């Protein structure tokens, strides 16, 4: 027994240092946990301030109802957008203008062809021929990108530009 006591006394310095390190590590852990609990308590107090369980449930239900209304409004907006896209497809939203000199003795490119088409390439060509004395307007129907009457070079050019028109 005396042998055991002498061995413990010989390592008591090392054992004391080891236990001191363990105690310091445990103190650091306790302080860290204490700070974390305080942070959670503060968040809990802010979250539950002025609310009991029932009023908190009512608050959640109100928020969910607002979310549902927002989703319903978004769905209605999508339907309206689809209707508008359909309407826009039937409008004359593709166009081109080609200016040219109808007569050799006149400059300034006062004559022009205006092509107006919808998404199905149906619409019209408006050809304005400007001379010294008069201005003549001719309109030609376009169906699916084609005309039933012969087109001039300028009209063909305007039609091609309108068919290939890309909106940004």
CA dist 3 → 6, 7, 33, 110 (Å)? 5, 6, 43, 123
Q: What is the pLDDT of residue 13?
A: 79
Under 8 Å between Cβ of 98 and 154 = yes
Q: What is the pLDDT of residue 167?
A: 67
Q: What is the pLDDT of residue 126?
A: 96
CA dist 128 → 12, 48, 64, 99, 109 (Å)? 113, 76, 62, 9, 11
Task: Give the pLDDT confidence of 119-151 residue by residue, as tens digits.
Answer: 899 999 999 999 888 899 999 999 998 999 999
Task: Give the pLDDT confidence of 69-119 residue by residue, as tens digits.
Answer: 999 999 999 999 999 988 887 888 899 999 998 888 777 888 999 999 998
Name the average pLDDT for the chain: 87
Under 8 Å between Cβ of 155 and 127 = yes
pLDDT at position 168 over 60: no
pLDDT at position 58 over 90: no
CA dist 105 → 78, 109, 133 (Å)? 56, 11, 13
Three-state DSSP class for residue 2: helix
């Amino acid at each position: 027994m005396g042998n055991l006591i002498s061995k413990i006394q010989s390592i008591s310095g090392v054992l004391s240092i080891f236990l001191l390190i363990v105690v310091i590590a445990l103190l650091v852990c306790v302080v860290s946990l204490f700070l974390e609990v305080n942070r959670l308590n503060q968040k809990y107090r802010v979250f539950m301030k002025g609310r009991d369980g029932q009023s908190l449930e009512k608050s959640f239900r109100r928020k969910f109802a607002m979310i549902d209304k927002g989703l319903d409004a978004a769905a209605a907006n999508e339907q309206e957008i689809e209707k508008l896209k359909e309407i826009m497809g039937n409008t004359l939203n593709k166009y081109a203008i080609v200016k040219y000199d109808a007569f050799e003795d006149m400059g300034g490119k006062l004559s022009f062809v205006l092509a107006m088409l919808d998404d199905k390439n149906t619409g019209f060509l408006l050809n304005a021929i400007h001379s010294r004395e008069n201005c003549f307007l001719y309109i030609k129907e376009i169906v699916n990108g084609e005309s039933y009457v012969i087109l001039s070079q300028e009209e063909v050019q305007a039609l091609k530009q309108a068919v290939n028109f890309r909106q940004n």
